[in-house]
Amino acid sequence: TAIRLLTAVVAVVGGNSSYVLDGMPRMTERPIGDLVAGLKQLGADADCFLDTNCPPVRVNAKGGGLPGDKQIKLSGSVSGMFLTALLVAAPLAHGDVKIEIVDRLISVPFVEMTIKTMERVGVSVEHNADWDRFLIQGDQKYKSPGNAYVEGDASNASYFLAGAAVTGGTVTVKGCGTGSLQLRATVEEGPDYCVITPPEKLNITAIDTYNDHRIAMAFSLAACADVRITIKDPGCPP
């Protein structure tokens, strides 16, 4: 996750420098080629120089920033993080940027959370109702809000939230506030917590993991409540 955002950030604000972004062996198996292709369309000089479409990634940053006035065609079927990274970088380009999702965008709620977070720091993104067309005005400025609350990682909390839904109990998770993604249950929200109360009956039949092992792990708990569930692609990579 971090390398995807950092690749876009150094491409747009990295000055006149060259960067190689790499990591542990497991990271070199995580795809990033679609993001690199999108950055190239934006005017960046970036490549997966081992021709694996995975890290390491080389970025030759340009001191004057990226030109903008571009229309980017991007795949959204592998990871929503590719779009997130481009959305974060695009407001700093020197012209408007249009992004078109050429297939199906997964992780729409996470992209929505990205846009809401960007709005809190002074930049805006327009999109259509289908979440496949985005317009970002260029030469925007990120503005510090002074104090920013960083909520907890909801994906790590997902096991406890799912546990409440299948046991008939109530769980309070601190660190996930009103901007967090919510389960389909009764939710009481506060500035730094949410209380999840499950429905009377669960009716889960099949769950798509969208290549995310955390989804498979969280919904596997439903079997503990004698709920028949099919997890598609249970062998998705961590």
Q: Quick one: pLDDT at residue 81? A: 93
Q: Quick one: pLDDT at residue 121? A: 94
pLDDT in tens, 162-190: 777 777 778 887 776 655 543 446 667 77
Q: b vs e for 176-201, b when ≥16 Cβ sit within 10 Å of the residue's Cβ?
A: bbeebeebeeeeeeeeebbebebeee
CATH 3.65.10.10 is the classification of domain 154-232: yes
Pick out the chain residues at pLDDT < 70.
151, 153-155, 176-187, 199-206, 234-238
Q: Where are the domains of the chain?
A: 2-136, 154-232
Q: Quick one: pLDDT at residue 225? A: 72
Q: Is the pTM of this model over 0.85?
A: no
**Contacting residues for 153 by C-beta, under 8 A, at least 6 apart:** none
Q: Quick one: pLDDT at residue 69? A: 92
Quickly name the fold that domain 2-136 has: UDP-n-acetylglucosamine1-carboxyvinyl-transferase; Chain (3.65.10)
Cα separation, 183 vs 5, in Å, equals 26
Fold match flag (2-136 vs 154-232): yes
